[in-house]
Amino acid sequence: MRLNAWLARAGVASRRKSDELIKEGRVTVNGAPGQLNTVVQPTDEVSLDGAPLQKQQLAYVLLHKPAGVVTTASDPQGRPTVVGLVDHPARVVPVGRLDADTTGALLLTNDGDLAHRLAHPKYEVDKVYVAELWAQPTDGILRKLADGVRLPDDETKTARAQVRRISGSVVELTIHEGRNRQVKRMFESVGHRVKRLHRSSYGPLNVEGLEPGAWRELEPSEVELLRVPTPDSRERVREPGRARHRPA
């Protein structure tokens, strides 16, 4: 494991900030200054400013993100963050992003390899969104979304999607890409604006049983479904574990 990834797993800092610590000469591996390309072995001793570090255990958390919370570890504007909601002994960070006003399923982990895999479009992790629009779209509009659309300020076309009308102006959209503000931009491309947006599931995970702001650790079987995506793993988990924390 590269040194910056090891430091991130240890809860010291993000990979980017860990690179800065390494460049400043504050990190040693077996007593020697660490380098950006240093690979840490299980038996190596890593220290920061002379103090030995212990690698954290891997942790996987599902959060029901509420509205008004930003998907970052810290916010210069002082807004509440998803990391601040998850009172976990391990330093976990979000996989992907949801807009501040978007609610729903958000995975947080310190498993960098899995996070990278899930974020890569070739693994086609299904993300299911429920969008309430300001106006009712026609069936033709929904067919366009299903076939893929060209996003504003983007020359490429989105991949095919699954689209289902829940009620008049409420639409369920299943995608496996993760472009910036993709769902809202898809609707904008066909002349509609999103009033409310909720991600009901992420891969095999859903937020059934979790109140907004509550989180739970994943069961080992759920982690395995995320590691080895198969057609069966795209079926949503219907009986999530018990919530570990609820907002006051």
User: What whole-number percentage of the chain has pLDDT above 70?
Assistant: 92
User: What whole-number percentage of the chain has pLDDT above 90?
Assistant: 66
CATH code at 126-202 = 3.30.70.1560
Using alpha carbons, list the distances in angstroms from residue 58 to 92, 109, 110, 111, 228: 9, 7, 6, 6, 17
Q: What is the rounded average pLDDT for all residues in the chain?
A: 89
Q: Given the residues 44, 99, 101, 154, select the one marked as catalytic.
A: 99
> Is the whole-model pTM more than 0.85?
no
Question: Do the first three CATH levels of 3-52 and 60-121+203-234 match, i.e. the same topology?
Answer: no
Using alpha carbons, list the distances in angstroms from residue 115 to 52, 109, 178, 203: 26, 7, 13, 13
Instruction: Write the pLDDT tens digit of every residue in 148-176.
Output: 999 988 878 999 999 999 999 999 999 99
* Cβ count near 130 (within 10 Å): 19
19 catalytic residue (yes or no):
no
Task: Tell me: pLDDT of 229 over 90.
Answer: no
**To 10 degrees, the CA torsion angle through 61, 235, 172, 151?**
80
CA distance 69 to 81: 5
Look at residue 135 and give its three-state secondary structure: coil
Residue-range domain boundaries for the chain: 3-52, 60-121+203-234, 126-202
Q: Which CATH superfamily is domain 3-52 in?
A: RNA-binding S4 domain (3.10.290.10)
- pLDDT score, position 142: 97
As a whole number, mean pLDDT of residues 5-25 equals 88
Instruction: Write the pLDDT tens digit of every residue in 79-116.
Output: 999 999 999 988 888 999 999 999 999 999 988 888 88
- pLDDT score, position 232: 44
Instruction: Write the pLDDT tens digit of every residue in 192-208.
Output: 999 999 999 999 999 99
Which residue, 206, 64, 194, is CA-closest to 131?
Answer: 194
Architecture in CATH for domain 60-121+203-234: 2-Layer Sandwich (3.30)
